[in-house]
Structures are given as structure tokens and as C-alpha cells.
Structure 1
Amino acid sequence: MAGMKPWTLRGGVAVVTGAASGIGAALAVNLARRGMHLALVDLDAAGLESTAAQARAAGVNVSTHAMDVADRAAVAALPAAVLAAHGRVTALVNNAGVALGGLFEQVDADDFDWLMNINFGATVCLTRAFLPLLAREGAAQVVNVSSIFGIIAPPGQTAYAASKFAVRGFSESLRHELEMNGSPVGVTIVHPGGVRTAISENARLAKGLDALDVQRERANWRSLLALAPEAAAETIAVAIERRAPRVLVGQDAKAAALVQRLFPVTYWKHVARDLARRIKRKPA
């Protein structure tokens, strides 16, 4: 980013949410190998310890914080706990996220709010909590994981797409404010495509969905998750190191973003055709 101070990951301290599995776990290990100390956050305490063990093998200090990122009291207490363990924070990676399947009319309002509170609300609360600590540094970075569904919005993903578009809008506006005020804190927005994580398998489902339809849809989406979490983590880590304002992760994300730019209103019919072809080509 123009005007941003150069920085190095080595010796810094990164707070990584959703670190028990998937992209969060892979990114934590990648950052550890680049010399970053880590404060790992997730509701899954056992998964956190597994990630922490891999990260510690790189010779860095790692603390684990088992908590619900949607719990505002727990978020408010987290900066003090991280400072006690590490003394500083140079990067915040808001990666924790959940999914919710079903059409808008099928999705319960409480489930919709549950997803928004985790995917978007927690991102805002964590950023608010850690921004004062990040601003103490000569250079620091907020890294917010959106999705390709923060650029395109497929049917059946109203809650998820709404949350990821919100993360994108929040992050872009925040970056402009920080730049305007000469802050040492930069913002990187991450838009992953199909990464092989368990988020779709663990998705909460709207009540009354047909079990066979759910099974078929999950199989279709699973067939599109081609990129290994480790490969996604490498792309994200390089973007953080470069303080890139935005990173598209995976060729599918880059292709979908291009189609959206070319056809900002009618992009979905083009993307849907491509997805249908890719699903048909996948082995059962």
C-alpha cells in the first residue's frame, strides 16, 4: 500500500481467530514458520491445542484462548489476556466464520442473526478491541477474511453473503479512515474461493429442508472445494507480508471476481453455468 511503513512478520504477534481448523489453523502454522508469535482463538479447545503444537514446533511463543468470538464480554477481556502472554500485538486476523444453508424464506431469524453475530459482529468487536494496541506499533495489520461470496452473491446464501459483503464494506471504509488519519495500521481483505475446509459440512441448516436435497447440495459444494488450506494460507501470508489491501485466494475466486466486474448485474447466470460444468466434471 502506498504510504504504508515497511514491516516484517518475524518477531511480531498475530491474533488469529478460527484457528482450530481449516484456513485459520493452516495460516497460524504458516505465520509461525515466518517467525510470528501467536495468540490463537477458537471455541474448539482441542483443535486449538493441536494447531498450537504445530506452531510451537517452529520455535515461537503460542497462547491459546478458547472462547466464543460472539461473546462480547470475552472479546473485551481478550486484549488484556494477549498482552499478558505476549506484551504486544502486531496483527489481528479475523478468520472465524460459520455457514447457514437454506433460502431466505426458509431460514429462521434467530439463525440468521447467529451467523451475522459471528461472521460480521465478531469482526467488528475484535477490531474495536485490538485497534488501540495495533496503533501503538510502528506498523501493524488488520486482516479480515471475507469470501468470494463477499463479491458475488449466490442463491441459498443470503445470510452468509450478507455477512461477507458487510465484512468487505467495513474493511474498505476502515482502511480509508486509517489512511486518512495517517495510522500505522493497514487493512487486508481476504476473499477465498473454494478451500477444502469443513465449513459447509458444519453449516447450520434451515428447518424443514429435505435430507436428500441437503446431501446432494453438500456433495456439489464439496466437489468445488479444490484448494488445500495450506495453499490458501501461503497466499494469505504473502499478502499480509506485503500489506496488500485485497487478496483473491484461488483461481476460482479470481475468475468469479472478473465475471462480476464484467457483468455487475447479470454475473450469476455466467457463474452458475460454470459451476454446473465443474460439478458435472467431478468424479462421484
Structure 2
Amino acid sequence: MPERMRLAGRTAVVTGAGSGIGRATAVALAARGCHLALADLHAERLAETAQLVAREGLRVSAHRLDVSDRAQVQAFPDQVLAHHVGVDLLFNVAGVGLGGTYEQVTDDDVAWVMDVNFWGTVWMTRAFLPALRSCDAAQIVNVSSVFGMVAPAGNVAYSASKFAVRGFSEALRWELEDTHIGVTVVHPGGVATNIANDARVPDGVDEAERQRKLAFSNKRLRMPPAKAGEIIVRGVEARKLRVLVGWDAVALSILTRLVPVRYWRVLRSWVREDLAAGGGSGPQG
């Protein structure tokens, strides 16, 4: 069992820090005295987070970063180390949503969601491994989703990206098990973030369908981000291998153990009940 990680005085890189789970994670880290290198594509949101976490004695740097741009990611460690003496933790939180069936989404849609959710995680991990190897104890924290445990209809591209994050994280963990670098994979359930509102809508989805799906998604995004951030950071302090965020994540984890192949039959009944009550056409995660 690995020793608990004390976060005070350590430095964490957090992507997707401008809002939602990324911002909440940064706030929880700051409360523990962890120095922060914050990254996000949206400069205004990023500046708001930097103000939220600012406190005496804490080094905080803010960096506009597109994790889907490989060149930007490769140059990013030097930018971080210009402000910080090292990096102990890497939180790959940045992610985007994409609903739609396989026939509705285009290859460009799939490439976009994979570039952000999967390749962004891969490139960030490679970029910061040298810095993580240089400290006494390090942790890589990759945010997957409940849709990295189950793959419901209507979420083919998003689920593929989040299953890829999970597979990458689990294999990397065993490759690093004899080192001081741990790997945590996080599966959030319905956290009240902007992911559904900001999600890309394929051309094949009409406005009425989009609104139904959005209503369905937002109805289930209930957990306050602050609570999710605390759960994640507590899991990292314990150096857990996997962190399930929310009762729905726990329930789906159990469901996949009970019916690992045919779980969609159960989920489909749940979705149909919601449709009968006026909900959307399928879950978003």
C-alpha cells in the first residue's frame, strides 16, 4: 500500500482549470497548500480560477494552452518550470463532449474529441514525465468518465476517447509500478459542469433533438464541482489507483461487474423510462 501523499509544498499542473472539475480540483489543491500551474484554452475562465486560488505563500501561474496542439504541449514544461522549481503532480482534466450516433458524427468530429480527450492526455504525460521523475514522489491523474466504464448508444466517439484514457492509464500504471510515479484514473459521474452545454453538436443532429439531449444531460449533472474536486484530491492523497466520483459512477462500476457485456439492456430500460417522462434520447457523460 503506497504511503499517503502530503500535498503541501508540492506543485501540480492542472489542465482544464478554467471551469468545472479542473477548477474545483485546483481549489482543493490550493486549500492544501499545493503550488499550481493552471492551464486552459479559455483565458478569461483561467484568470478567474487563478484569482480564486491565490493566497499568500502559494505560487500560482496561469497558462493558455490547447492540449490538442502537440507543439504547444511539448513547449509547455519549460513554461511551467520558468515559474516553479519542479512538478510533482499532473492532472489531465481538460476534456470536451460530443454526442451523436456513429452515423451522425463525422470523422472530423471523432478526431476532434480524440485529440482533446485522449491525445491531450498522452502528450501531456510524455511532456511532463522527465519532471515527474525528478521529484521524490509523483502522481499522474487522468480523468476518464463513467463512459470510460460503459459505452451507451449515442456516445460512440466520446466513449471511445474515455475508454482510451482508461486503457492508457492502466497500462502506464503497471509500466511505472517500480518507480515513485503513481497513476490514478478518475471516473466522474454526473458532475454539474458545462461539458454538455459546451459539447459539439454534429451536423446530423437537428435542434429539437439537441435540446432534448441537453435537457437529459443537465438533468443528471447534479454533483457540485467542489464536491467532485474534493473526492478527486482525497483520492490522490491516498494514491488510489481509481477514483469513482458520485453514486452513479459507483453503480455503473457494479453493473459492469454483474453484466459486463449486456449492461446496455439495463441502461436502455432506464433511458426509455426517462424518454416516456419527456427526457432526451440518451445519456451524455
**TM-score over 0.5 (shorter chain):** yes
Partner of 2:215, secondary structure, is helix
Distance across 2 between alignment mates of 1:42 and 1:191? 20
Work out the CA distance in 2 between the residues paired with 1:98 and 1:245.
23
Which consecutive residues of structure 1, in runs of 5 or more, have no partner in the other structure?
none
Aligned to 1:248: 244
- The equivalent residue for 2:206 is 210
Cα pair 1:5 1:138 within 8 Å, conserved: no
Structure 2 segments unaligned to the other structure (5+ residues): 280-285
Residue pair 1:223, 1:282 contacting (<8 A) in 2 also: no
Shift of 1:267: 0.6
- Note the C-alpha offset of 1:273: 2.6
Structure-to-structure mapping, 1:163-174, within 5 angstroms: 163-174=161-172
Match runs of 1:59-208 below 5 Å: 59-179=57-177, 182-208=178-204
1:228 is aligned to 2:224? yes
Tell me how far apart the structure 2 counterparts of residues 156 and 142 of structure 1 sit (CA, whole Å).
30
Report the Cα distance in structure 2 between the residues aligned to 1:59 and 1:28, rounded to whole angstroms.
Answer: 16
Tell me, yes or no, if structure 1 residue 237 matches structure 2 residue 228.
no
Q: How far did 1:172 drift?
A: 0.4
Give the letter aligned to residue 94 of structure 1: N
Instruction: Tell me the TM-score normalized by structure 2.
Output: 0.94
CA RMSD in angstroms, aligned pairs only? 1.8
Q: How far apart are the structure 2 equivalents of 1:62 and 1:16?
A: 11
Task: Provide the secondary structure at the position in 2 that maps to 1:125.
Answer: helix
CA distance in 1, matches of 2:278, 2:204: 29
Contact 1:224 1:278 survives alignment (8 Å):
no
Shift, 1:191, TM fit: 0.2
CA change 1:66–1:172 in 2 (3 A) is same
**CA displacement at 1:34 relative to structure 2:** 0.7
CA distance, structure 1, for counterparts of residue 204 and residue 135 of structure 2:
50
1:42 paired with 2:40, answer yes
By how many angstroms is 1:271 displaced? 2.2
> Residues of 2 paired with 1:278 and 1:37: CA distance?
44
CA distance in 1 between counterparts of 2:191 and 2:56 reads 24
SS in 2 for 1:261: helix
CA contact (8 A) 1:31 1:237 kept: yes
Residue 205 of structure 1 and its aligned partner are, at CA, apart by 1.0
Q: Is the 8 A contact 1:150 1:162 kept in 2?
A: yes
Amino acid at match of 2:63: H
Q: Deviations over 1:143-182 (max 9, x none)?
A: 0000000000011111110010000000000000001xx2
SS of residue paired to 2:82: helix
| Aligned equivalents of 1:58, 1:40: Cα separation in 2 | 17
Instruction: For residues 63-111 of structure 1, give each alpha carbon's deviation from its aligned partner in whole angstroms, at most 9, with x where no partner exists.
Output: 0110211111111111111111011000000000001121111111111
Secondary structure of the residue that 1:96 maps to in structure 2? coil
8 Å contact 1:120–1:164 — kept in the other structure? yes
What is the letter of the counterpart of residue 191 of structure 2?
V
1:20 aligned residue (12, 18, 31) = 18
| Structure 1 counterpart SS, 2:46 | helix
Q: How far apart, in 2, do the equivalents of 1:276 and 1:17 lie?
A: 36
From 55, 59, 75, the equivalent of 2:53 is 55
Q: Deviations over 1:113-147 (max 9, x none)?
A: 01101100010000000011101111010000000
Q: CA deviation at 1:241?
A: 0.5
Q: Which runs of 4+ in 1 moved over 6 A?
A: 278-283
Query: How many pairs does the alignment contain?
Result: 280
